[in-house]
Amino acid sequence: MKNPVLKLLSLTFCTSAFLASSQAGDAPLPSGPQSDGAFKKVILDADKDVEGNGKIIDSVKDPMELAVAGDGRVFYAQRDGTVKMYQPETKATIVIGKLEVEDYIKLHLEDGLLGVTLDPNFLKNNWIYLYYSPPETKTDKNGEKAGENILSRFTLKDNKLDMASEKVMLRVATQREQCCHSGGSLAFDSKGNLYLSTGDNTNPFASDGFSPSDERPGRSPWDAQKSAANANDLRGKVLRITPQPDGSVKIPKGNLFKPGTMGTRPEIFAMGCRNPFRISIDQKTGFLYWGDVGPDAQTFKEGRGPAGMDEFNQARSAGFFGWPYFLGENKAYWKHDFEKQTSGERFDVAKPVNNSPNNTGIKELPPAQPAFISYTYGPSAKFPALGSGGRTAMAGPVYYYDPKLKSEHKLPREFDHTLFLYEWSRNWILAVHLDEKDNIAKMEQFCPHMTFKRPMDMELGPDGCLYLIEYGTAWENNLDSQIVRIEYTGEPKEPLAQKKQD
């Protein structure tokens, strides 16, 4: 299906999400099954009192990303700049801070407060990392509106963010002339390296759902070669840095380009990303996983390229992952002349070259890496568990069963060495069981009888439970957003869906 009009583009990963609207009026209770067999959903924060007395507890507005502390506190970021904390002792949520961010709804952009994560030593140092979009803009040399997204560290003091404690780690220059794709997910690995995903900051709506690589003068917002395929730009990437106690950063070994390499940025770990909206790091292997939200072409077209598809990617090491020259399992686009509306040669997977006038980096790029999993709108013969429909791929954590962990609700042994993926448009969570070489052994839907209203972010807690943001039914102004924990009860019950069938 085609994308909704621009005024609906307030959701960060918009381009291939499948729209389902909600009715205005009273906030609905969570609908559909909230349990499945031995698993149940515990609602931590919601738009409406789930006891049914009609009293609104709080407004969960555009929740974007969450992080779980070692003591069970849950922190989550809202796009409007609000940072909240759920306290397990009181079972209450409080506001711990508010950042000033751009008016993303008015501007039809996809920025705001996008990401949150906690320092590995959070219980000792109280450091919180946020990725956000200050409202300031300027006019660049091309006459376009420009801004920046900032990755900063803050200190939590007396349950409040100390705004004076801000330490800026990275500044990502962006164009604010056109939407889309901001990314913004944050995650640490076991070695103390911090990863940040960034979108290609490119308008996709003038490319017929194919590669947005318009090289005409004044059309850089429509050219993803300026960002995703530009080794001298931080957009369209997954970045990796090592934060230092004084607020500075170091570049870890193993990133894509060595520091000092002409025409490159040393922070880049993975490039060639369109909208890597949610990322996760396997804490044992160090492998990076992310979901990359893809373009909208309904079918393959000779002279242009493949049908649109989303990707789940696995990076065992740094690399170039293709966009905007290749998609999925390295299916190549043709180079397109947007002025003459003619096509040239197909891009070369083994030797991709970025000759765009908007490219400020090296021209010869590393060979493209194929997707770990890729899928179109229709059913997948290779991965039938994916189903069909809209596409908004997101990557969650890899779980390892720990028999020593004292938690009665931790995921059971059957999910040992399992990667959890989830889909905002298709409303499911997928359990991908990995083999000893971290390849796919099998995949299945997790809790298929449980209802998930647009899963937005997922993390593992210290208790071995999955913590989840359910964004809600609509694109904006949801009345059914909630923050939940999925617990294993060890007491299988007949799924509600099955009872209805009987």
For residue 89, pLDDT over 50 is answered with yes
Structure tokens at 473: 């039914």
Cα separation, 93 vs 153, in Å, equals: 22
Identify the residue with better confidence: 3 or 35.
35
Is residue 293 within 8 Å of 274, Cβ to Cβ? yes
Which conformational region is residue 500 in: left (phi greater than 0), alpha (psi within -120 to 50 degrees), or beta?
alpha
Q: Structure tokens of 49? A: 């009192």
> How far is 28 from 33, CA to CA, in rounded Å?
14
Tell whether the model's pLDDT for residue 285 goes beyond 60.
yes
Mean pLDDT of 376-384: 95
State the average pLDDT for the chain.
90
Query: What pLDDT does residue 47 have?
Result: 75
Residue 103 pLDDT class (50, 70, 90 cuts): confident
Whether residue 257 is predicted with pLDDT greater than 80 in this model: the reply is: yes
3-state secondary structure of 497: helix
- Express each pLDDT in 28-54 by its tens digit: 456 788 999 999 999 999 876 555 555
Question: Could you tell me which residues come within 8 angstroms of residue 31 by beta carbon, excluding any fewer than 6 positions away?
Answer: 451, 480
pLDDT at 469 over 60: yes
In order of start, what are the domains of the chain with their CATH numbers?
6-501 (2.120.10.30)
Side-chain-side CA neighbours of residue 325 (13 Å): 31
Mean pLDDT of 113-130: 98
What is the reported pTM?
Answer: 0.91
Residue that has been written with the tokens 């389902």 in this structure = 20
Instruction: Give the pLDDT of residue 468.
Output: 98
| In the predicted structure, residue 187 carries a pLDDT above the cut 90 | yes
pLDDT in tens, 428-466: 999 999 999 999 999 999 999 999 999 999 999 999 999
Three-class SS string for 124-191? HHCEEEEEECCCCCEECCCCCEEEEEEEEEEEEECCEEEEEEEEEEEEEEEECCCCCCCEEEEEECCC
Determine the pLDDT at residue 407. 95
Read off φ and ψ for residue 481, nearest 5 degrees.
Answer: -75, 150
pLDDT in tens, 301-340: 999 999 999 999 999 999 999 999 999 999 999 999 999 9
- Give, in order, the Cα–Cα distances in Å from 344 to each of 201, 285, 304, 333, 445: 25, 42, 9, 10, 42
B/e letters for 35-66, b = 16+ CB within 10 Å, e = fewer, are: bbbebbbeebbbbbeeeeeeeeeeebbbbbbb
pLDDT score recorded for residue 473: 86
- Note the pLDDT of residue 27: 42
What's the pLDDT band for 2 if we cut at 50, 70, 90? very low
What pLDDT, on the 0 to 100 scale, is given for residue 140? Answer: 77
Cα end-to-end span (Å), the chain: 35
The answer on pLDDT for 350 being more than 90 is yes
Query: Among the listed ranges 12-16, 150-154, 178-182, 265-269, which one has the minimum average pLDDT value?
Result: 12-16
Distance from chain centroid for Cα 69: 20
Pick the closest to residue 112 from 27, 199, 45 (CA basis): 199
Mean pLDDT over residues 457-478, rounded?
A: 92
Under 8 Å between Cβ of 169 and 151: yes
- Cβ atoms of 87 and 130 closer than 8 Å: no
d(CA 348, CA 329): 13
pLDDT at 500 over 90: no
SS3 311: strand
Q: Are 488 and 412 in contact, with CB atoms under 8 Å apart?
A: yes
Taking residues 231-236, report their average pLDDT: 98
Nearest Cα to Cα of residue 376 among 440, 331, 410: 331
Query: What pLDDT shows up at residue 56?
Result: 56
For residue 207, pLDDT beyond 80: yes
133-144 burial, b if ≥16 CB within 10 A, otherwise e?
A: bbeebeeeeeeb
The 3-state secondary structure of 108-126 reads CCCCCEEEEEECCCHHHHC
Mean pLDDT highest for which of 12-26, 28-42, 70-84?
70-84
Amino acid 335: pLDDT: 97
Give the number of other CB atoms < 10 A from CB of residue 494.
Answer: 12
* The predicted structure's pLDDT at residue 437: 98
Rounded Cα gap, residues 43 and 35, in angstroms: 12
- 173: confidence class by pLDDT, cuts 50, 70, 90: very high
